[in-house]
A and B are shown apart, each in its own frame.
Chain A
C-alpha cells in the first residue's frame, strides 16, 4: 500500500469512527440541535431588550386643556401604561414600591411656563435600579414630550425655542424588535458551543478513557487525528447553523437581507475558528471536566457577553471594548447582524472576515505546534 493510500484509509477510519460516536452520543446531538432550540425559544420569546408598556405614574397638579392633551399623548403611546395619581407623594410611594417605573409630573405652573417658553416645565423621575431600562424609559418619555411639544407649537402657530428636537429614524430594524438582532447573534453562540466546547470535551474524553493511548501506538500521524476530529464536528456545527438559520427565518420571521451564500461562508470561517479554540483547549486539558470549564470561561462566556450579541460594545467601558477585540465571536456577530439586517455590506464583511481568518490561523497554528504524539 502506498503511503498516500494508507493516509486516506486512516483518515477515513477516523472520520467514520468519530461520526459513529457523534450519532450514538446523545450529548453531542443535544448540544448541536436541542440546545439551539432552547436558546432560540428563550431569546426569541423570553428575552426582550425593548421597553414596551412601561408603567409610569402621571401626576397632574392642575388639570387644563394642555395637561389633558399631554396625558393623552402618553395614553396613546404603545410604550407606556400611564396611571394617574392625585399628588406627587403617592406617586413617589408607588415608585419606591416598584409599582411604577417612572413618574411624569405636570406641576401647577405647567401651562404658564409653557406659554413663557421656559425649559423643562415637566418633572421626570425614573427608577434607576435597572440602568438599561431607565435609560430607555427616559428616552421614550423625552420622545413623547418633544413630539407633543412640536405639535403644540404647530397648532398655536408659535415659534418656540425648543431644546434640540429629536427626530428619530431607525434604520435596519424599523420596528426596533430586539429579536431581530438577538436571533442572528445566537448562531455565534451555538457554533461556539459545538466548535470549542464539544470538540475540546471529546478529545479530553479520549484521554480519560485511555483510547488516545491506544490510538497513538498505531502508524497514525497527529495531523490525521486532528483532521479526523475536525471534519465531523465541522459538519455537526454547520448543521446546527443551518438549523438555527431555518428557525430564525421561518419561526421568528427574522429578515435575511444579505445573501445566504455569504452567511454560509462566514459561518464556515467562524466554525474553523471555534474548532481551533477547541483543539487548543484540548492540548491543555486532559479531563472532560477541565476542558468543559476552560471552554466555558474562555469561549462561551465571552461570546455571550463581549461579542455584541447581548450588550452593545460601543457602550462598554473602554478597557472592556479593547478586550472584545480578542473575542472571535465579536467579529462573527458583527457579520451576522449585518448580513441578516442590512445586507451584503462588503466593507463590514471583509474587515471582520479578515480578523476571523487571522484568528483561525493563530489558533490552529498553536494547536498544531502544541500537539505531539506523546503522553507528556
Chain B
C-alpha cells in the first residue's frame, strides 16, 4: 500500500484547439511520483507542466492514456480524486475580497473539515505560515509571498494525501521562497504527504527528491538530482581572469572548440564541455597570463542545458552592430530621490541612481518591489510624484516624448500583436517610430537577419515559441536604433538556452555602446549586470556592482556568497531594523 506510487501517468496525450490548428500540449507522457516524496515537474513555459497538473487534478481530460492518483482512476472518478488531493493553482485560488480567515473557512467548509478539528488545524497552519497576525486582513491586501502562503494553507485545511502545487514560487521573493520550501519539507517529513510541484526555476530542482524534466510537451528524462548531475561530472568548470571583463571573457569562451555552453555564474564564467576531455583553454587565451580554470560542482542547470542542446542543436549568429560613439563616464539616466504614490500607497520610495553610457544596469527585486513602476516613470509613461528623472539629458517632466524617441522599450510578456505576422509587427513598430520607407526596409531586413527571424517572417507571431517572441520583441525595440534600451522582465518564462542567447545579444549591445536598463526577479541574472539596485517594497536596499554587493555578506558560513544570499541578507537585515524601531 505505502509503496504504491502517488501518481501514475501512462501514455497521456492532450491537444488544445480545433482539429487543423490543434496544438499538442502533451505527447504521450509517462511518469510516476513516489509516495512521501517531492516530485518536481521542471521546464520552461510551454513545456506542459500546467496541463499535466490539471489532468492530474481531474480538471482536464486526457485525449488518450491512463492515469491514477493514489490508486484512483482520475478520469472515471474525478470527484473522489478531488476529495483526496490538495491543489494550488498558479494564481493561488484566493478570493481577494475575503479576509484570510474567511478564505480558510470557505475551504474548510468545502473540504468538509469538522468544526471541532478546525481550531487546532488553523492554529497549526497559521503558525506554519506566520500569517496569524493577519487573519482579519483581506487576501487582496497581502504581499505576494503572503498570498502564496495563504494559498498553500487553503489547500492544506484538510491534510491531503497528495499535494499538487502549480508553480508555487513564481515571481516571489527569495525569502518567501525559502519559507515555502521549509513548509513543504515539513509536510512531507511529518505527515508523509506526497507532493507534485512544478517550477520554472532550475535551481529549485535540487530541492526535489525526484525530477521530471519537461520540454515542449515531452518528458526529456526522469531521475534524482544526483542522477542528472552525475554524467556532467568532469565537464563543468569555473573560469575567471582579472584581465578581462566577464562579458568579453564569456564571448571568447563561447567560441573555444569543445565548449558546449558558457554562462556568467557569480564572479566566474561557468563552462560546460562537450565531453570529459578538457578544452584547450591555454591555447585559446594565449594572450592572457592569469586565466584561472577550476573544476566546478555540476548543478541541475548544466544537465538541462546539455540535454536541451542535444534536443535542439541551435545556431547562434553573432549580433552585428555599429559601434556607437562612446563617451566614457557620462551619465545617461539619472534618477534623483524619486517617489511614486498611488493614493496612500508608496509604490516607489525615494530612489536614486545613475546609469553610465554602455552600462548594463539592473533593477532586482520580487514582484511588487516597484521595479515596473520605476520603469514606467523612466519611459515617461507615468509621472513621478516627486523627484527628478533625466533620460539622455532630457527632463522627463518637460520632454518626455523627446526622451522616448531615444530609447527602445521591451515590455513584460513581449507585448506585440499576436494576430499579426512577424514582419507585419516589425513594420508597424517601424512606422510607429517614424522611419521612412527606405529606412524601414533596411532596418527590418537587418532585424530579420540579426535575430534569425527571416524564416518566420510570415508566421503569425501568436504561434511562435516564447523564445522567438522574445527575440521579435527585442528586434522591435531596436528598430529605431536607440541609444538606451529598457527591458522589463525580458527573460521570464523562457528556457535556459533562449535566456543565454538573449544575454549574449544584450552583452553585444552593451559592448557597442548602447545603455541597457533591465528589471529581473532572477537572482542569477543579476550577475550579467555591471551595476544594480536591489529593491523591496518600493525601496532601494543596496546598490553597487554584483561583486561589491556579494562581498558585503562574505562570512565563514558562506565564503562565496551568491546574489541570492546577498538579497536574503538584505531583506532580513531590513526586517530586523524595523523590528528594532
Chain A residues with CB under 8 Å of chain B are 1, 6, 9-10, 12-14, 16-17, 20-21, 24-25, 209-211, 213-221, 373-376
Taken together as a complex, chains A and B put the C-alpha atoms of A213 and B60 apart, in Å, by 11
Determine which of B54, B107, B164 lies in contact with A218 in the assembled complex, contact meaning CB atoms within 8 Å.
Answer: B107
Determine which of A9, A17, A214 lies in contact with B88 in the assembled complex, contact meaning CB atoms within 8 Å.
Answer: A214
Interface membership of B79, Cβ < 8 A: yes
**CB proximity of A326 to chain B, nearest CB, Å:** 29
The contact sample of 20 A-B pairs, CB cut-off 8 A, is: A9-B112, A13-B110, A24-B97, A209-B91, A210-B93, A214-B92, A214-B93, A214-B154, A214-B155, A215-B93, A216-B57, A216-B59, A217-B59, A218-B82, A218-B107, A219-B79, A219-B82, A219-B110, A220-B110, A374-B58
Instruction: Give B71-110 as 1s and 0s: 1 = Cβ < 8 Å from A's Cβ atoms.
Output: 0000000110011011111111111111000100111011
**CB proximity of B579 to chain A, nearest CB, Å:** 32
Interface membership of B194, Cβ < 8 A: no
Interface membership of B266, Cβ < 8 A: no
Taken together as a complex, chains A and B put the C-alpha atoms of A221 and B79 apart, in Å, by 8
**Which chain B residues border A1 with CB–CB below 8 Å?**
112, 114
Instruction: Give B153-173 as 1s and 0s: 1 = Cβ < 8 Å from A's Cβ atoms.
Output: 011000000001000000000
Query: When A209-B91, A211-B93, A374-B58 are in contact, do A21 and B98 touch as well, CB less than 8 Å?
Result: yes
Taken together as a complex, chains A and B put the C-alpha atoms of A1 and B54 apart, in Å, by 28
Are A211 and B109 in contact (CB-based, < 8 A)? no
**Which chain B residues border A16 with CB–CB below 8 Å?**
106
Are A218 and B111 in contact (CB-based, < 8 A)? yes
Are A10 and B110 in contact (CB-based, < 8 A)? yes
Most chain B C-beta atoms within 10 Å of own C-beta, residue among A10, A217, A220, A374: A217
Are A217 and B106 in contact (CB-based, < 8 A)? no
**CB proximity of B395 to chain A, nearest CB, Å:** 38
Most chain B C-beta atoms within 10 Å of own C-beta, residue among A10, A24, A214, A374: A214
Interface membership of B331, Cβ < 8 A: no
Q: How many residues of chain B are within 8 Å of chain A by beta carbon?
A: 37
Per DSSP, are chain A's interface residues mostly helix, strand or loop, or mixed? helix
**CB proximity of B179 to chain A, nearest CB, Å:** 21
Are A219 and B58 in contact (CB-based, < 8 A)? no
Query: When A373-B78, A376-B61 are in contact, do A17 and B112 touch as well, CB less than 8 Å?
Result: no
Determine which of A21, A219, A374 lies in contact with B61 in the assembled complex, contact meaning CB atoms within 8 Å.
Answer: A374
Are A217 and B58 in contact (CB-based, < 8 A)? yes
Residues of B32-90 at the interface with A, using a CB-CB cut-off of 8 Å, are 54, 57-61, 78-79, 82-83, 85-90
Determine which of B85, B90, B97 lies in contact with A210 in the assembled complex, contact meaning CB atoms within 8 Å.
Answer: B90
**Which chain A residues border B60 with CB–CB below 8 Å?**
374-376
Are B82 and A216 in contact (CB-based, < 8 A)? yes
Determine which of B96, B109, B151 lies in contact with A9 in the assembled complex, contact meaning CB atoms within 8 Å.
Answer: B109
Taken together as a complex, chains A and B put the C-alpha atoms of A216 and B89 apart, in Å, by 11
Are A215 and B54 in contact (CB-based, < 8 A)? no
**Which chain B residues border A217 with CB–CB below 8 Å?**
57-59, 82, 85-87, 89, 164
Which residue of A has the minimal Cβ distance to B155?
A214
Query: When A21-B98, A25-B97, A375-B54 are in contact, do A214 and B79 touch as well, CB less than 8 Å?
Result: no
Determine which of B78, B93, B95 lies in contact with A213 in the assembled complex, contact meaning CB atoms within 8 Å.
Answer: B93
Are A10 and B93 in contact (CB-based, < 8 A)? no
**Which chain A residues border B106 with CB–CB below 8 Å?**
13, 16-17
Which residue of B has the minimal Cβ distance to A225?
B110
Query: When A1-B114, A20-B102, A373-B78 are in contact, do A213 and B89 touch as well, CB less than 8 Å?
Result: yes
Taken together as a complex, chains A and B put the C-alpha atoms of A255 and B389 apart, in Å, by 66
Taken together as a complex, chains A and B put the C-alpha atoms of A6 and B151 apart, in Å, by 22
Query: When A210-B93, A213-B93, A214-B89 are in contact, do A219 and B112 touch as well, CB less than 8 Å?
Result: yes
**Which chain B residues border A6 with CB–CB below 8 Å?**
112
Which residue of B has the minimal Cβ distance to A22?
B97
**Which chain A residues border B95 with CB–CB below 8 Å?**
17, 21, 211
Taken together as a complex, chains A and B put the C-alpha atoms of A219 and B54 apart, in Å, by 16
Taken together as a complex, chains A and B put the C-alpha atoms of A6 and B97 apart, in Å, by 25
Taken together as a complex, chains A and B put the C-alpha atoms of A20 and B96 apart, in Å, by 11
Query: When A17-B98, A25-B97, A219-B83 are in contact, do A213 and B59 touch as well, CB less than 8 Å?
Result: yes
**CB proximity of A205 to chain B, nearest CB, Å:** 10
**Which chain B residues border A376 with CB–CB below 8 Å?**
60-61
Closest 5 CB pairs of A and B: A214-B93, A13-B109, A210-B91, A217-B87, A219-B83
Taken together as a complex, chains A and B put the C-alpha atoms of A210 and B50 apart, in Å, by 13
Are A209 and B96 in contact (CB-based, < 8 A)? yes
**Which chain B residues border A373 with CB–CB below 8 Å?**
58-59, 78-79, 82
**CB proximity of B75 to chain A, nearest CB, Å:** 11
Taken together as a complex, chains A and B put the C-alpha atoms of A28 and B102 apart, in Å, by 20
**CB proximity of B364 to chain A, nearest CB, Å:** 27
Taken together as a complex, chains A and B put the C-alpha atoms of A319 and B110 apart, in Å, by 50
Are B61 and A215 in contact (CB-based, < 8 A)? no
Are A214 and B87 in contact (CB-based, < 8 A)? yes
**Which chain B residues border A374 with CB–CB below 8 Å?**
58-61, 78
Taken together as a complex, chains A and B put the C-alpha atoms of A6 and B83 apart, in Å, by 12
Which residue of B has the minimal Cβ distance to A373?
B78
Which residue of B has the minimal Cβ distance to A209?
B91
Taken together as a complex, chains A and B put the C-alpha atoms of A375 and B106 apart, in Å, by 21
**CB proximity of A20 to chain B, nearest CB, Å:** 6
Taken together as a complex, chains A and B put the C-alpha atoms of A214 and B154 apart, in Å, by 9
**Which chain A residues border B61 with CB–CB below 8 Å?**
374, 376
**Which chain B residues border A211 with CB–CB below 8 Å?**
93-95
Which residue of A has the minimal Cβ distance to B78?
A373
**Which chain B residues border A219 with CB–CB below 8 Å?**
79, 82-83, 110-112
**CB proximity of B14 to chain A, nearest CB, Å:** 9
Determine which of B92, B97, B110, B112 lies in contact with A215 in the assembled complex, contact meaning CB atoms within 8 Å.
Answer: B110
**CB proximity of B48 to chain A, nearest CB, Å:** 15
Taken together as a complex, chains A and B put the C-alpha atoms of A217 and B102 apart, in Å, by 18
Are A21 and B59 in contact (CB-based, < 8 A)? no
Most chain A C-beta atoms within 10 Å of own C-beta, residue among B54, B105, B154: B54
Taken together as a complex, chains A and B put the C-alpha atoms of A219 and B88 apart, in Å, by 15
**CB proximity of B70 to chain A, nearest CB, Å:** 14
Are B87 and A21 in contact (CB-based, < 8 A)? no
Are A10 and B97 in contact (CB-based, < 8 A)? no
**Which chain A residues border B94 with CB–CB below 8 Å?**
211, 214
**Which chain A residues border B54 with CB–CB below 8 Å?**
213, 375
Other than A13-B106, A210-B90, A213-B89, give 20 A-B pairs with Cβ distance below 8 A: A6-B112, A13-B109, A16-B106, A17-B106, A20-B102, A210-B93, A211-B95, A213-B87, A214-B89, A214-B92, A214-B94, A215-B93, A217-B85, A217-B89, A218-B83, A219-B111, A219-B112, A373-B58, A374-B58, A374-B78
**CB proximity of B271 to chain A, nearest CB, Å:** 41
Taken together as a complex, chains A and B put the C-alpha atoms of A373 and B154 apart, in Å, by 20
Taken together as a complex, chains A and B put the C-alpha atoms of A9 and B111 apart, in Å, by 9
Determine which of B58, B86, B97 lies in contact with A21 in the assembled complex, contact meaning CB atoms within 8 Å.
Answer: B97
**Which chain A residues border B91 with CB–CB below 8 Å?**
209-210
**Which chain A residues border B96 with CB–CB below 8 Å?**
209
**Which chain A residues border B98 with CB–CB below 8 Å?**
17, 20-21
Determine which of A10, A14, A17 lies in contact with B102 in the assembled complex, contact meaning CB atoms within 8 Å.
Answer: A17
**Which chain A residues border B59 with CB–CB below 8 Å?**
213, 216-217, 373-375
**Which chain A residues border B155 with CB–CB below 8 Å?**
214
Taken together as a complex, chains A and B put the C-alpha atoms of A211 and B94 apart, in Å, by 6
Taken together as a complex, chains A and B put the C-alpha atoms of A217 and B105 apart, in Å, by 16
Taken together as a complex, chains A and B put the C-alpha atoms of A87 and B78 apart, in Å, by 86
**Which chain A residues border B88 with CB–CB below 8 Å?**
214
**Which chain A residues border B86 with CB–CB below 8 Å?**
217
Which residue of B has the minimal Cβ distance to A21?
B97
Which residue of B has the minimal Cβ distance to A212?
B93
